């Protein structure tokens, strides 16, 4: 059967009409933001803030679901395998770029199994110490580590906090023992009581104890001193090349329509610009830092490769 131009035009028009409809969020459906760690921490707070503001802007239900397990792998993988229709999203953070290098059988590829939407915020990572610890600087700490046993708490295996400890050990050629906890809270309890001398943590939960004289801070892992605490030395000032910053963002399953990704990115960019969002994130110890889909994709890939090289060079990956 031969098709004339007149016969083809209605077909083309119909296809052109239906394609955009397939590339839109369904306003009657709930959007779920999966947070791959337990409720109550900073990551969860960022996820809930984004959900709240997206719901206001999109005029449709947006909820947070905490899917925990295996250091965040369970929740992250559930989004990688979800339908790519924009209704299941991931609150992604730096740990997702590290998992493959520190754990066996990670079921997702962070560089190919997701459609990055936007980075939302960052937060610094700091090394804290109990006041009884003799060292008051990173240099003094490394000297102490060479002459005696030290241990440091982190919120768990495979976290950026864990990687920071491994990087310090490898760069300074010391052996500070890793003590993983189930979150920052339990580790902080032992730091305050002197049961453990050191702890890697973000500032929000610990800085009040620094101000009260119950904890001291030795350095920040950011590439340079941070504006909110300029008196705290960057660890890179003592250990050249040492830097690690925690970021938070939103991602969808791979193959999510570029139109949906662009729509959500535009909404998140507007959310990040809201004054009340800035005020609330500052109280949590986060800095708003919007990055769009393609730059965010590049950041994920670069961090994945950079941390993989660090772990590989140090010989600290899974055996």
Q: Judge whether 223 and 122 are in contact, CB under 8 Å.
A: no
Q: Token pair for residue 153?
A: 């708490």
For position 7, what pLDDT does the model report? Answer: 52
Strands of the 176-180 sheet, one edge to the other: 176-180, 150-154, 198-201, 126-129, 216-220
What pLDDT sits at residue 319? 61
| DSSP string for residues in 136-153 | -SHHHHHHHHHHS-EEEE
The encoded tokens of residue 38 equal 């337990």
DSSP 138: H
Residue 309, token pair as written in the block: 């090289």
pLDDT for the residue 15: 47
pLDDT at 17: 40
Decide: 119 and 291 in contact? Cβ < 8 Å. Answer: yes
Specify the DSSP class assigned to residue 235.
G
pTM of the model: 0.82
* Cα 39 from Cα 66, distance rounded (Å): 6
**pLDDT per residue as tens, the chain (319 positions):** 444 445 544 444 444 443 344 578 999 999 999 999 888 777 888 999 999 999 999 999 999 999 988 878 999 999 999 999 999 999 999 989 998 888 888 999 999 999 999 999 998 999 999 999 999 999 999 999 998 889 999 988 778 898 999 899 988 999 999 999 878 889 999 999 999 999 999 888 898 999 999 999 999 999 999 888 899 999 999 999 898 989 999 999 999 999 999 999 999 999 999 999 999 998 888 889 999 999 999 999 999 998 898 788 777 777 6
Residue 35's SS3 state is strand
Nearest CA to 232 out of 213, 250, 249, 210 is that of 210
Question: Scanning the structure block, which residue is given the tokens 């050191």?
Answer: 198
What are the chain's domains? Answer: 14-123+246-314 (3.40.190.150), 126-237 (3.40.190.10)
Q: How many residues does the chain have?
A: 319
142 neighbors 174 (Cβ within 8 angstroms): yes
């Amino acid at each position: 059967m031969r098709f004339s131009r007149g016969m083809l035009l209605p077909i083309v028009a119909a296809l052109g009409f239906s394609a955009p409809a397939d590339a839109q969020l369904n306003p009657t459906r709930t959007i779920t933001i999966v947070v791959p760690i337990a409720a109550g921490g900073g990551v969860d707070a960022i996820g809930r803030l984004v959900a709240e503001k997206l719901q206001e802007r999109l005029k449709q239900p947006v909820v947070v679901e905490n899917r925990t397990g295996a250091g965040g792998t369970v929740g992250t993988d559930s989004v990688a395998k979800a339908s790519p229709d924009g209704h299941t999203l991931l609150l992604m953070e730096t740990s997702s770029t590290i998992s493959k290098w520190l754990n066996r059988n990670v079921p997702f590829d962070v560089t190919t199994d997701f459609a990055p939407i936007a980075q939302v915020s960052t937060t610094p990572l700091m090394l804290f110490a109990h006041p009884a610890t003799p060292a008051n600087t990173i240099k003094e700490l490394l000297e102490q580590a060479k002459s005696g046993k030290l241990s440091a708490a982190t919120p768990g295996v495979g976290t950026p906090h864990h990687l920071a400890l491994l990087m310090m050990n490898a760069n300074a050629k010391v052996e500070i023992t890793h003590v993983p906890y189930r979150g920052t809270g339990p580790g902080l309890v032992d730091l305050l009581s002197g049961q453990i001398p050191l702890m890697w943590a973000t500032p929000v939960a610990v800085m009040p104890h620094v101000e009260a004289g119950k904890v001291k801070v030795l350095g920040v892992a950011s590439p340079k001193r941070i504006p909110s605490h300029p008196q705290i030395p960057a660890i890179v000032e003592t250990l050249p090349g040492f830097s690690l910053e925690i970021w938070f963002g939103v991602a969808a399953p791979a193959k999510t329509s570029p139109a949906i990704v662009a729509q959500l990115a535009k909404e998140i960019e507007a959310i990040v610009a809201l004054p009340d969002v800035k005020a609330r994130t500052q109280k949590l110890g986060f800095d708003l830092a919007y990055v769009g889909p393609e730059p965010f994709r590049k950041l994920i890939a670069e961090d994945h490769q950079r941390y993989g090289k660090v772990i590989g060079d140090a010989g600290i990956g899974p055996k």
